[in-house]
Amino acid sequence: MGRPQAFGTINFCKLTVEPRITDRIEIEKGNSNNHVEISGFKLDNRLTIINIYNNPSSSLDLLKETLLEVKDYIDESENILILGDFNHELKLGSPLESFMLQSFGTRLFSPRESTTNARTVIDGVFGRIEDYNVEFFIYESYASHHKPLVIRVHEL
């Protein structure tokens, strides 16, 4: 028996948040060794939050192909946050950053410090936000290889 494998992401939404969840998004592509999972929700059709888990074996092409399916759920003008474990290095000018800007008009809010114990920045946040103030920070975790990202969204 080997070490148990765990992967994935999680979204939390404060129960007393005034806008209510009005729609859910679930997309999965690939197979057990090479897959991308997307989950998300809309808050009163004013803000869409999309969470990504990209398996480390997945190609950038599969990630891009799966992300493009998100466009079926969103308007080009709505506020959107796309976040999670991309398993591709996130930095300004990277192929993924350029794709996200061209495809969704989002900018990279990714942290400047590593998000894993291996000193990589593969977890991050992209956003197209006009009506909200977004802040995030890295939470130090001793139970995971990844450092969780905590994101707070406040209306302006």
Domains in the chain: how many in total?
Answer: 1
pTM: 0.78
Cα–Cα distance for residue pair 130/81, rounded to 1 Å: 11
Is it the case that residue 93 has pLDDT exceeding 60?
Answer: yes
What pLDDT score was predicted for residue 125?
A: 83
In a domain, 124, yes or no: yes
Type of residue numbered 116: T
* pLDDT tens-place string over residues 45-92: 788 989 988 888 888 999 999 999 999 988 888 899 998 888 777 777
Look up residue 70 and give its DSSP letter.
G
Is it the case that residue 8 has pLDDT exceeding 60?
Answer: no
Distances (CA, A) of 92 to 63, 67, 113: 18, 19, 13
How does DSSP assign 71-127, residue by residue? GGG--TTSEEEEEEE--S---TT-HHHHHHHHHH--EE---SS-SBTTS---EEEEE
In a domain, 15, yes or no: no
What pLDDT score was predicted for residue 64?
A: 94
Integer-rounded Cα radius of gyration of the chain = 15
What domain range includes position 132?
21-155
In a domain, 139, yes or no: yes
In a domain, 104, yes or no: yes
Cα–Cα distance for residue pair 68/65, rounded to 1 Å: 5
Cα–Cα distance for residue pair 43/2, rounded to 1 Å: 41
Task: Report the CATH number that the domain containing residue 94 is assigned in CATH.
Answer: 3.60.10.10
Is it the case that residue 115 has pLDDT exceeding 70?
Answer: no
What pLDDT score was predicted for residue 46?
A: 81
